[in-house]
């Protein structure tokens, strides 16, 4: 007679896997301040701090919401649409290995939390330079549960997509398409910046942008390489593909820049790094290194096209989250349907290797995730907008969100600054005689 | 020949440039300056240190024009720079003694008249 089945099936915590996942979690966490740097460089100098602070806000709000309820919605049970509340307040999340992995459940939760954080931060790129900080905090809290956790359940946590057969290695559904199409909805609800389309609104520090992109790429090795939850083959494959794919995107982006403007641009290169990393995110552990390089080259094309086209429209999706994340994520998700290879991933073949059904499930994910993200984000922001104004006044927008929202400046000189004996305690600034 | 000096809000500098262009006033210099003109002070806090920012960022236009372009330049500065709030800036007009265009050696009226090229 054998023992109870759950004892036979129970995996042990593996020291090597746990060590790697501890590091991978820290790598992914670094991506959020890296994104802050990337975004801060892309805005005008008077909005530097506010833009960065939206990413810091994600670190605060998304983490807390994840621990309270988001993790449970995403990863408790296998309901088709949402998970249960069994892990609310991290109930029953302990040192025992998480089902299907050889790492402690607690660490699994922390790793997944860093995904939720970066995704919330990504959406902020659509509304920088005009959305007020307070409503953004409320939006971040609601969105992290109602959109991110739900999509994560569909793709990772036992929801209808993963159960049906959709392959999404590291978050093409919840992270990339989730943030990209939510960003489009957010830009539409919040509205364009007052000077959008009338004045050139240029990035104020291209070095921040490049450094941010570089740090994001670095962190992405944890993001993709950790999504195998082990030091096994799929993690190693995804890790290596995270090196190869963005390099190919960079090369093609250089070529596109040369054809279009006869010069290779720095901000274009930074964007290409992001697009390449996003493209390989869903596919990392499922396609061969050769196909990963092909994906990198291919993913540049639709994202480049959207980045060229979008500023000609009236949609001020300010930092092109849709193009860099939504479109590139969608490209990666569909690419799996064609080029997934059982001999590399041990899970499934795509159309080219004989399984057309895989493409069907990838296409379904590419339809469902953007639709849900767009509609849910639209409704959340509309509801918040009923209670409080989402955006700053035109005068405040002209002055810059750093001074208006935070009472600080990124590049303050201190000239002419007079010490105040006591904190103002909310009193209005006084008019000084000259 | 006058030197028109306009000190305006940085966020209105583009509007002023557009207005000057429409008034066919070409040839401007602009610089970022800091100043104080009686507007409300901003209060900022850096960790425990709370300060009143006595100086505000402004953009200073310097426009050398022949006499008939003085009024159009002033009108353009007002039109482009005005928000109606305290802190919109000032315009000063001062007489110009000499002007020389370095490339050609032209002086005075010839030097401040834009070339069509």
**What's the pLDDT tens digit per position in A342-351?**
999 999 999 9
pLDDT in tens, A205-252: 999 999 999 999 999 999 999 999 999 999 999 999 999 999 999 999
Chain A nearest-CA residue for B39: A431
Residue A10 CB contacts under 8 Å (≥ 6 apart), including other chains: A97
Integer Cα distance of A255 and A252 in angstroms: 5
Nearest alpha carbon to residue A253 among B8, A245, A426: A245
* pLDDT interval class at A413 (50, 70, 90): confident
Residue A313 CB contacts under 8 Å (≥ 6 apart), including other chains: none
Sequence ranges of the domains in chain B:
2-112
- Report yes or no on A392 lying in a domain: no
**Interface contact flag, B45 A407, Cβ < 8 Å:** yes
* Whole-number pLDDT of residue A291: 98
User: Which chain A residues touch B11 with a CB distance below 8 Å?
Assistant: 398-399
Cβ atoms of residues A146 and A166 within 8 Å: no
Provide the whole-model pTM.
0.91
**Dihedral angle, C-alpha A132, A138, A141, A143, nearest 10 °:** -80
Segments forming the whole domain that contains residue A264:
12-387
User: Which chain A residues touch B40 with a CB distance below 8 Å?
Assistant: 429-431
Interface of B with A in 95-114 (CB under 8 A): none
Q: How many domains does chain A have?
A: 1
- Report yes or no on A393 lying in a domain: no
B2-112 domain in CATH 3.40.50.300? no
- Report yes or no on A341 lying in a domain: yes
Nearest alpha carbon to residue A277 among A213, A344, A323: A213
* Whole-number pLDDT of residue A1: 39
Neighbours of A346 (CB within 10 A): 12
User: Which chain A residues touch B53 with a CB distance below 8 Å?
Assistant: 416-417
pLDDT in tens, A376-400: 999 999 999 999 999 999 989 999 9
Q: What is the CATH number of the domain that holds A40?
A: 1.10.3430.10
């Amino acid at each position: 007679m054998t023992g109870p089945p759950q004892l036979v099936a129970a995996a042990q915590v593996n020291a090597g896997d746990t060590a790697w996942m501890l590091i991978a979690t820290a790598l992914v966490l670094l991506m959020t301040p890296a994104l802050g740097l990337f975004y801060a460089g892309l805005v005008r100098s008077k909005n530097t701090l506010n833009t960065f602070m939206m990413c810091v806000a994600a670190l605060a709000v998304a983490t807390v919401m994840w621990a309270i309820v988001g993790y449970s919605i995403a990863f408790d049970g296998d309901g088709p649409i949402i998970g249960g509340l069994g892990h609310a307040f991290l109930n029953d999340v302990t040192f025992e290995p998480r089902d299907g992995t050889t790492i402690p459940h607690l660490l699994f939760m922390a790793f997944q939390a860093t995904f939720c954080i970066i995704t919330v931060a990504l959406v902020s790129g659509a509304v920088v330079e005009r959305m007020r900080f307070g409503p953004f905090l409320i939006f971040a809290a609601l969105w992290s549960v109602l959109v991110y956790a739900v999509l994560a359940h569909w793709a990772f946590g036992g929801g209808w997509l993963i159960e049906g057969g959709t392959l999404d290695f590291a978050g093409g559904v919840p992270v990339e398409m989730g943030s990209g199409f939510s960003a489009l909805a957010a830009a539409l609800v919040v509205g364009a910046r007052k000077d959008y389309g009338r004045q050139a609104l240029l990035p104020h520090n291209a070095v921040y942008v490049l450094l941010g992109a570089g740090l994001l790429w670095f962190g992405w090795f944890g993001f993709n390489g950790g999504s195998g939850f082990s030091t096994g083959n799929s993690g190693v494959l995804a890790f290596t593909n995270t090196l190869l794919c963005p390099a190919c995107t960079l090369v093609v982006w250089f070529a596109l820049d040369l054809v279009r403007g006869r010069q290779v641009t720095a901000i274009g290169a930074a964007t290409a790094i992001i697009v390449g990393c996003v493209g390989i995110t869903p596919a990392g552990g499922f396609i061969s290194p050769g196909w990963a390089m092909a994906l990198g080259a291919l993913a540049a094309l639709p994202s480049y096209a959207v980045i060229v086209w979008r500023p000609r429209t009236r949609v001020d999706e300010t930092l092109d989250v849709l193009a860099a994340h939504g479109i590139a994520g969608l490209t990666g998700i569909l690419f799996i349907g064609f080029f997934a290879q059982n001999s590399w991933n041990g899970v499934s073949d795509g159309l080219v290797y004989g399984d057309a059904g895989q493409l069907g499930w990838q296409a379904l994910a590419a339809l469902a995730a953007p639709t849900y993200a767009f509609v849910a984000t639209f409704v959340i922001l509309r509801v918040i907008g009923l209670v409080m104004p989402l955006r700053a006044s035109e005068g405040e927008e002209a002055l810059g969100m750093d001074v208006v929202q935070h009472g600080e400046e990124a590049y303050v000189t201190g000239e002419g600054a007079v010490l105040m004996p006591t904190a103002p305690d909310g009193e209005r600034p006084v008019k000084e005689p000259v | 020949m006058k030197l028109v000096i306009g000190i305006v809000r940085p966020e209105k500098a583009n509007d002023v440039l557009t207005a000057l262009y429409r008034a066919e006033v070409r040839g401007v210099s602009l610089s970022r300056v800091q100043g104080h003109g009686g507007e409300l002070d901003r209060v900022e806090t850096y960790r425990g240190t709370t300060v009143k920012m006595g100086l505000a960022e402004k953009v200073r236009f310097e426009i050398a024009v022949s006499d008939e372009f003085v009024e159009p330049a002033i009108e353009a500065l007002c039109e482009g720079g005005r928000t109606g709030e305290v802190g919109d800036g000032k315009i000063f007009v001062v007489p110009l003694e000499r002007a020389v265009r370095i490339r050609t050696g032209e002086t005075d009226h010839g030097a401040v008249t834009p070339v069509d090229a």
